[in-house]
Structure 1
């Protein structure tokens, strides 16, 4: 037992496992994720309504969204942003690998009479070549990927852009990484928790990888008849790091803000939102 607990709590090698897709498509957990998306009191899967409203206003103004404009959202979730852009008259496409979220988004679009092109797909597998005026990735999704995945994604995003189009996305910063603390915690859940609807044990460990400025939230869930692990990776960026990644993939950094609301960037900001476009 002691050795088993040691293994649960030991620090894994960097990017040893990628569990995001299974997390978002587990029949029970994905329902919980959708609930968090739609709960206005928390910002665990989507940001709170006041933030979304402010960011939508900034995005509309900055990118002149309206009739004749086209937007593709990578990781659209239940459509909190895509619905608003469709209401402006934009041509909108949304990509997500959570079937629950996509189905909810489709139902809401149909209920509201909105023509939104939703795709149930891992955006790393997206092969569309139709160009868009704006490519978005919201809620720091980019930072959850490993370097090879980020390289692949930037290539896909670049191919999805009009020549004068823009990418708009947010990532966590070096400042947020500095504020992180490594920790380990343990919890017993009687049932119907976030991870499981039966009695289970939860081990959570938070690790830092200073050389690469990466954080890991690792969860080990132990039920009566199964044990599973979730690895949530987060890469924390400096402006120069993100600029270099963009440049290596045929893109250039255009503007930097503190977040998606267009607030001026500060070195004390925990996130940054960037505008990027094709080189040249």
Structure 2
């Protein structure tokens, strides 16, 4: 069987390819592309049996690309939607991989693919579009500014200047290059407003600005720690998210 992977986040696409090779050595991943136009071309030229498509890509969305898939090609969407959307997808039996993709979820997806039990593209697309209309009727712009109370004044902090966010009970600690500020918003709520392509959750209570990551270090116990450009402390990565840094 042949497969293609389309994801504009190159490191995630390569990580998915690497883990699929381990889980399903017989599967031939013939193309890894990083935009919707290239994905549509790969579908037409390669005619794969399986297509792993990111939903949000430059050029064309994964939904639009999937419309050009033949009846013999099964589509697995890669999404970054929140838990409520994920529950809806589960109930509708739509197959997807939620970023960051856990080992357990990928293994279940491979098993279903091997059993040929995934919905055909037309049915999958119809269900997904119906769910998106309910769960996410319109895509809101990602948060760009934070309003942080400092004494008797309010400080405006550009989100792109944040090195990482750390959960602090019902609040969130905002760590920039030269400051530690307390935001009166729980991290769980804040995550939903951040650009998932730039801010990666690496621990239950930690979200890191990907542009700040210099390297990932694996210690003798297999734990992963991140080095950032503008902060001296090392950032711990939980096992759930360690696969994001396997090739770093």
TM-score of the alignment, normalized to the shorter chain, above 0.5: no
The TM-score, its normalising length taken from structure 2, stands at 0.30
Relative CO higher for 1 or 2, CA cutoff 8 Å, sep ≥ 6?
Answer: 1
